[in-house]
């Protein structure tokens, strides 16, 4: 049977409509703006590749969740690099724009669109120090951890004495720098195997970790130390009043007064 030209055109039109419909359904993910989690994951992958390609004689562990056995609080660590000159705990912040902040501030600021848009986020220096606090208890070791924060897409205007950088070249220089730490091959291997065991046998899921983050935020609002669970009490310091942990000096967590920058 020979189809008429009108039928052929109609069939072709239906096929085109089906193809367009299928494309639109799939294109949602293509043209949808990436979420904050997706942006963060891209930054972590970029840093992970740079670490593995440029750092020799090192152990690497990426994306590990550590849990405090006593408080059951948790912390997610982007990258751990174990080298003879220290155990580097690397926090990746894949923010664009300009970044402003100081070591003692609870929140830092991201500035976009020539100052028209400003976003606040938790001080990554404090965030990394919390992770090291957990690692010290888990590994039963101190004075071997080196906290580093990297912003691979931002311009840094932060006033900080900590190790922070805004490109992967500077990160490589930090990893090669002298930290007055000298780990033996045996120590490096032991630390790696301990952390690998934690990664391969996680105590909690990522969903439970997110719930822990919300719990920590509630604790802070109620003046409860997010590290050890003890009360935060008002203290006097050289820069004025602040909230300090009742567990000091074992726990040195501090919180500025509400309204302080």
* 10 assigned to some structural domain: no
CB-based contact 195:61 (threshold 8 Å) = yes
One domain, residues 245 and 155: no
One domain, residues 177 and 256: no
The total number of structural domains that make up the chain: 2
For residue 3, name the pLDDT band (cuts at 50, 70, 90).
low
Q: Range of 242's domain?
A: 226-261
197, pLDDT greater than 90: yes
User: How, if at all, do strands 254-256 and 240-245 pair?
Assistant: antiparallel
What is the per-residue pLDDT across 247-257, written as a single tens digit (0 to 9) for each?
888 888 888 77
What is the per-residue pLDDT across 133-175, written as a single tens digit (0 to 9) for each?
999 999 999 999 999 999 999 999 999 999 999 988 899 999 9
One domain, residues 241 and 170: no
pTM for this entry:
0.72
Structure tokens at 236: 């006097």
For tokens 């997706």, name the residue: 38
One domain, residues 99 and 165: yes
One domain, residues 178 and 242: no
pLDDT: which is higher, 260 or 18: 18
30, pLDDT greater than 50: no
């Amino acid at each position: 049977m020979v189809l008429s030209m009108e039928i052929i055109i109609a069939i072709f039109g239906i096929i085109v409509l089906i193809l367009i419909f299928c494309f639109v359904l799939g294109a949602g993910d293509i043209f949808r703006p990436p979420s904050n989690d997706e942006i963060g994951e891209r930054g972590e992958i970029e840093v992970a590749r740079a670490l593995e390609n440029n750092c020799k004689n090192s152990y690497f562990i990426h994306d590990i969740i550590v849990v405090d056995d006593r408080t059951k609080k948790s912390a997610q660590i982007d990258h751990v690099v174990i080298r003879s000159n220290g155990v580097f705990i690397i926090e990746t912040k894949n923010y664009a724009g300009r970044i402003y902040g100081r070591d003692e501030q609870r929140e830092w600021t991201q500035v976009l669109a020539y100052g028209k848009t400003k976003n606040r986020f938790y001080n990554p220096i404090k965030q990394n120090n919390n992770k090291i606090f957990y690692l010290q208890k888990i590994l039963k070791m101190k004075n071997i951890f080196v906290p580093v924060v990297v912003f691979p897409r931002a311009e840094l205007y932060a006033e900080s004495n900590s190790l922070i950088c805004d490109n992967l070249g500077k990160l490589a220089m930090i990893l090669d720098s002298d930290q007055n730490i000298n780990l033996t091959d045996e120590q490096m291997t032991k630390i790696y195997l301990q952390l690998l065991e934690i990664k391969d046998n996680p105590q909690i899921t990522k969903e439970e970790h997110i719930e822990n983050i919300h719990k920590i935020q509630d604790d802070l609002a109620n003046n409860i130390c997010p590290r050890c669970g003890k009360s935060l009490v008002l203290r006097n310091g050289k820069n004025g009043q602040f909230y300090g942990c009742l567990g000091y000096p074992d726990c040195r967590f501090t919180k500025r007064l509400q309204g302080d920058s």
